Amino acid sequence: MNVLHRLRRAFAAASPEGASPDAFAQAVRPSTDPKFGDYQANGCMAAAKATGRNPRELASAVADRVDLGPMAEAPEVAGPGFLNVRLRDDWISAEMSGLLADDRLGVEPTDDPQTIIIDYSSPNVAKPMHVGHIRSTVIGESVSRILSSLGHKVIRDNHLGDWGLQFGQILWGWKNHLDPEAYDREPVAELARLYRLSASKMKAAEELAPKLEKVRALERQGKPDEAASLFSKLFDDAGMSREQAEAAVAEARAVTEASRQETAKLHAGDPENRKLWEQFMPHCLEALEGIYHRLGVRFDVQLGESFYDAMLTEVVESLKQGGLAEASEGATVVFTESTKAPMIVQKRDGAFTYATSDLAKVKYCEDEFDADRLLYVVDSRQGDHFKQVFDVARRWGYADVDFDHVAFGTILGTDRKPFRTRSGDVVGLESLLDEAVAKAREVVEQNSGHLPEDERARVAEVVGIGAVKYADLSQNRLSDYVFDLDKMVAMIGNTATYLQYAYARTRSIFRKGETTPEAIRRARPTILITHPAERALGVALLRLPETLEAAAAELKPNVLADYLFGLANLFSGFFDACPVLKAESAERRDSRLALCDLTGRTLAFGLELLGIEVVDRM
């Protein structure tokens, strides 16, 4: 049982009369400042208020009563009624010896293992992956690793968008603008070009049509002069004549309509479109695979929207039979309390929706895996969609499944606007990773010139990719964050590079001392606490299990990242204050080497759960 749990259990047993033992226990937390001990029990004020007693008196009664065994002395009453707990040095040192022999660094499997399906990355596949996809991919991978480290059965699910309008767009492009030689040479690039071609035309429709409509409205009102001046105002930038604007909008509409029809034909089983789709898919998947491989991400199932297509008629039937779905203006909808607008499950033209396929997915996951919990790592902007899906799914018969939308914010450029290239395009993920590795390479050249060339290249890859992941994972996922490569690869500050460097230090000390971590582990030295920096490091090392538990409870990798950053700082303080190889005695040297080993393993283990690799020297 981890330290926090043990303390909570002890305080629950000693909770004041009239207070809820559970709430009292929950108010035990790690201290924010070592002045207040290692942990604090802050429940006395609330308990005193509820029972009309004096909080300090109540605290001192709890302090007398609580049995912390060998862990800590009786807590100290402070301020208005806080209880400060200071762990005993001999206890810390004994626990550390236990950790030294424990491959899992004290992390115990949960006593309530669940089957958890986590939907992440889930890109729309016909488009090249862009920077926006990094968040879901990286957060989802880390949450998966954290949950499985705690003993849950995690099924990683890439819910590919492989059935939507984007395929209609490519089909339209294929039929009208294909460059067959380019396709033979580089199919993925040609498909991406066709996609972008139709997307840019459709975008023109979206942007120009409403402007043109305003102009026409004035004309209809019989105000030709105003209409003309509005036109020149609105279309000046585009440098378009009236005829050109009309033509662009007409063309864009035609492309949109044609793409819709191609999509509808694909869904209806048109043999030509179906065959083309089957031909495109492997290329699209191959492009994704390259990125996933580079990011160290792998899925257990990769079921896209196309996979659920065959089930959708049945889903809608079942919703109708259950009295959930009803006809509304020609469409079939489900009204939900969670949002004002109803959820459309079948459109007037017979097409099913994104929501219908998400309901099919719930059913499939339950039939196939009997999951306890379904997680969806998807942009916050899809919040309403998931509210509706979860609400309908619960009423549809999945009330005992836990649903969570693991939402996240937007990536911003240094101008604090959504991150784009100079030309205004979204930034491609592949080139972004290359850029990160190139930046990391500069840092490696500056700091690690002594390493051989192939090792420098490898370090740059690990540092560059790690930097991008960590920049994302170290933020509270709900916040937006600024994408700034220079800061990401910096050696100092809360970066992966800093943590990777701290790890490398924990390893290089062994090489310098001509020994190995394995030898120290076998020797089982007593861990001595002779300096506050050793003690602080020891207390932090004991906190890995409770940190993972907190990160898992909140589905927030940044809880783990913060911990690792704090640990690396404490290690650096220890390293400055306590000579290791030149320690005063052999016992101290071995004890400190053991602390280096434990720190290194904890950093590597934690970074691995963030999906970040380490290198032994850099």
Which residues are at the interface with ligand ARG (CB under 6 A)? 119, 122-124, 159, 161, 358, 361, 376, 378
Residue 159 and residue 361 in contact, taking contact as beta carbons nearer than 8 Å: yes
Find tokens 């030309």 and name the residue.
Answer: 423
Residue 409 and residue 359 in contact, taking contact as beta carbons nearer than 8 Å: no
Of residues 537, 515, 528, the one with CA closest to residue 581? 515
The CA distances from residue 373 to 114, 339, 390, 408, in Å, are 7, 23, 12, 19
Cβ proximity to ligand ARG, 405 vs 601, nearer residue: 405
Dihedral, 223, 228, 234, 238 alpha carbons, nearest 10: 150
The CA distances from residue 165 to 24, 274, 303, 353, 354, in Å, are 54, 14, 18, 11, 11
Cβ proximity to ligand ARG, 195 vs 563, nearer residue: 195
Cβ proximity to ligand ARG, 159 vs 507, nearer residue: 159
- Cβ neighbours for 289, distance < 8 A, ≥ 6 positions apart: none
The distance of closest approach from Cβ of residue 358 to ligand ARG in the complex, given in angstroms and rounded to an integer, is 5
DSSP for 118-185 reads EE----BTTSPPBTTHHHHHHHHHHHHHHHHHTT-EEEEE---B-SSHHHHHHHHHHHHH--HHHHHH
Cβ proximity to ligand ARG, 358 vs 549, nearer residue: 358
Cβ proximity to ligand ARG, 139 vs 540, nearer residue: 139
Cβ proximity to ligand ARG, 147 vs 165, nearer residue: 165
Cβ proximity to ligand ARG, 219 vs 289, nearer residue: 289
Of residues 77, 75, 95, the one with CA closest to residue 86? 75
* Separation of alpha carbons 363 and 367, rounded Å: 6
* Separation of alpha carbons 159 and 124, rounded Å: 9
* Separation of alpha carbons 164 and 126, rounded Å: 9
The CA distances from residue 565 to 59, 204, 492, in Å, are 33, 46, 11
- The first and second tokens of residue 286, run together, are 């191959």
* Separation of alpha carbons 321 and 506, rounded Å: 63
DSSP state of 491: S
Cβ proximity to ligand ARG, 183 vs 354, nearer residue: 354
Cβ proximity to ligand ARG, 374 vs 614, nearer residue: 374
Q: What is the Cα gyration radius of the chain?
A: 30
The distance of closest approach from Cβ of residue 472 to ligand ARG in the complex, given in angstroms and rounded to an integer, is 17
The distance of closest approach from Cβ of residue 291 to ligand ARG in the complex, given in angstroms and rounded to an integer, is 15
The distance of closest approach from Cβ of residue 393 to ligand ARG in the complex, given in angstroms and rounded to an integer, is 12
Of residues 142, 252, 163, the one with CA closest to residue 202? 252
Cβ proximity to ligand ARG, 11 vs 376, nearer residue: 376
Phi, psi of 337 (to 5 degrees): -75, -20
The distance of closest approach from Cβ of residue 307 to ligand ARG in the complex, given in angstroms and rounded to an integer, is 12
Cβ proximity to ligand ARG, 124 vs 547, nearer residue: 124
The CA distances from residue 511 to 202, 517, 531, 616, in Å, are 61, 10, 24, 10
* Residue of this chain nearest to ligand ARG (CB atom): 161
DSSP for 243-294 reads HHHHHHHHHHHHHHHHHHHHHHHHHHT-HHHHHHHHHHHHHHHHHHHHHHHH
Cβ proximity to ligand ARG, 347 vs 531, nearer residue: 347
Residue 427 and residue 130 in contact, taking contact as beta carbons nearer than 8 Å: yes
The CA distances from residue 9 to 25, 40, 65, 82, 132, in Å, are 7, 14, 13, 18, 43
The distance of closest approach from Cβ of residue 397 to ligand ARG in the complex, given in angstroms and rounded to an integer, is 19
The distance of closest approach from Cβ of residue 601 to ligand ARG in the complex, given in angstroms and rounded to an integer, is 35
Output 245-250 pairs: Cβ under 8 A, ≥24 positions apart. 245/208, 245/212, 246/212, 248/204, 248/205, 248/208, 249/204, 249/205, 249/208, 249/209, 249/212
Residue 557 and residue 610 in contact, taking contact as beta carbons nearer than 8 Å: yes
* Separation of alpha carbons 422 and 161, rounded Å: 27
Cβ proximity to ligand ARG, 161 vs 545, nearer residue: 161
| CA 590 to centroid of chain Cα atoms | 39
Cβ proximity to ligand ARG, 38 vs 119, nearer residue: 119
Cβ proximity to ligand ARG, 376 vs 483, nearer residue: 376
The distance of closest approach from Cβ of residue 124 to ligand ARG in the complex, given in angstroms and rounded to an integer, is 5
Cβ proximity to ligand ARG, 122 vs 356, nearer residue: 122
